[in-house]
Amino acid sequence: MKYKAVIFDLDGVICHTDRYHYQAWKQIADKIGAHFDETINNRLRGISRAESLEIILEYCPRRLGQKEKDHYLQKKNELYLSLLQNMSPADLDPEVKDTMERIRDRGILMAIGSSSKNAAYILKRLGLENYFDAVADGTHITRSKPDPEVFLKASAGLGIDPPQCLVVEDAESGIRAALAANMDCAAIGDGTRCNLARYHLQRFADLLLILNEGACPPSPRGH
């Protein structure tokens, strides 16, 4: 078997909290007088909270000192966590859970590789807090995607060499991180647009085709 482990990004792959991020950032942007819309929000995918704020500040008419930045970063997280209280195991797509169960039945290890510092909380809300063999998130890294650190920590936690890990990602920054970690990547959702990943998933269950000796058609990148 080519892949001994699958490393999943969390938001946009296992679950979808984009609307919560957007609502929280929109409140922050309104407070500081910065223009913010869905297009700008898409630029924030896969990067750290601090980096996200810097992007939002590009559309702000005034400069913020570090003390103000720290205040709004904390406020954003409080707003986001409040919104996440609405999540429950019912938000986990049955196809996602079934696919992961079938991957586990094949003896393939699974991990989370997420830049989010709230990954543990989200997994708990979904009822997945003890589900994965390893979790690497924003609390374990100093460099966010596209740096490969989070995926390398995930593979180390699994005890699996990077080339034997398949990453599942929905953001270009995450795909670049996977490639920098010397891992193959399966792109899903918006991640398919950049044509960098080895595989394109039309649906989550297509992962099973890839793990069946790479039966899933490769992306237009043409590996």
Catalytic residue among 9, 137, 170, 206: 9
Find out whether 165 and 3 touch, Cβ atoms under 8 Å: yes
Q: Distances from the Cα of 157 to the Cαs of 110, 143, 165, 174, in angstroms? A: 10, 17, 12, 18
Beta strands in 92-223 (DSSP E): 109-113, 134-136, 165-169, 184-188, 199-201
Pairing mode of beta strands 184-188, 199-201? parallel
Give the ranges where 44-93 is alpha helix by DSSP (H).
Answer: 49-57, 66-84
- Concerning whether 93 is annotated as a catalytic residue, the answer is no
Task: Indicate the SS3 state at residue 138.
Answer: coil
Give the pair of three-digit tokens for residue 157.
């936690």
Q: What are the tokens at 155?
A: 């593979």
Q: Active site residue: 11, 137, 170, 184, which one?
A: 11
What distance in Å separates the CA atoms of residue 206 and residue 169, rounded to the nearest whole number?
13
Omega before 220 within 30 of 0, i.e. cis: no
Verify whether residue 91 is a known catalytic residue. Answer: no
Question: Residues with catalytic annotation?
Answer: 9, 11
